[in-house]
Amino acid sequence: MGKVHARVEGRLREFVDRQVVFFVATAPLSGEGHVNLSPRGIPGTFGMLDELTFAWLDGTGSGSETIAHLRENGRITVMFCAFDGAPNIVRFHGRGRVVTRYEEEYAELASRFTDLPGARAVVVVDIERVSDSCGFAVPLMSYVGERELLGPYFERKGIDGSADYRRTKNLTSLDGLPGYDFDPALE
């Protein structure tokens, strides 16, 4: 059934490259805080950088739980599920870091992905454990297409409006941890 792998290569890499959605889970160090589980999946905004490094272009969102948790402790799990074809679940356990749009490394990392209006960071995951399991209980579902809402929303806001949005909605996590606080107007 389940198997641990040394790296993401071969059939695992092919599986990850075909996916249209993935999930990320993070949590604060405090046992009292909220566990965060978020879906991701805008085409062209995520992928493997090498056999043990995964990354995604992180769009501005209504919260900043993943960013806050990664900044606090770095722990992250990334999960892919087969919703069509052969059943499979792949998990990456590792350490994540946030490279904001205002950091020098951002331009090079972001250039690997499709442009995303409102992008606030690239999240880089150094994979410490790769595993897959059967996925027999995951339902079969059909992929219909993308929701064309996020890009146009942040295109209308523009760079300044996107920064304003982050300043009002992304400063802290649900548990009060520092979230996205890298917009220049905050310094």
List, run by run, the mean pLDDT of 10-residue segments along the chain (187 residues).
92 97 96 93 96 97 95 98 96 98 96 96 98 96 93 94 93 93 71
Residue 3: what pLDDT? 96
CA distances from residue 17 to 32, 35, 44, 136 in whole angstroms, order as listed: 36, 27, 10, 21
The pLDDT value recorded for residue 45 is 97
Identify the pLDDT of residue 60.
93
Q: For residue 75, report the phi and psi dihedrals to the nearest 5 degrees.
A: -75, 135
Q: What is the pLDDT of residue 2?
A: 83
pLDDT for 39-73, tens place per residue? 999 999 999 999 999 999 999 999 999 999 999 99
CB 62 within 8 A of CB 165: no
Structure confidence at residue 183 (pLDDT):
77
Of 144, 105, 135, 137, which is closest to residue 121 (Cα–Cα)?
105
Which pLDDT score, from 0 to 100, does residue 182 have?
78
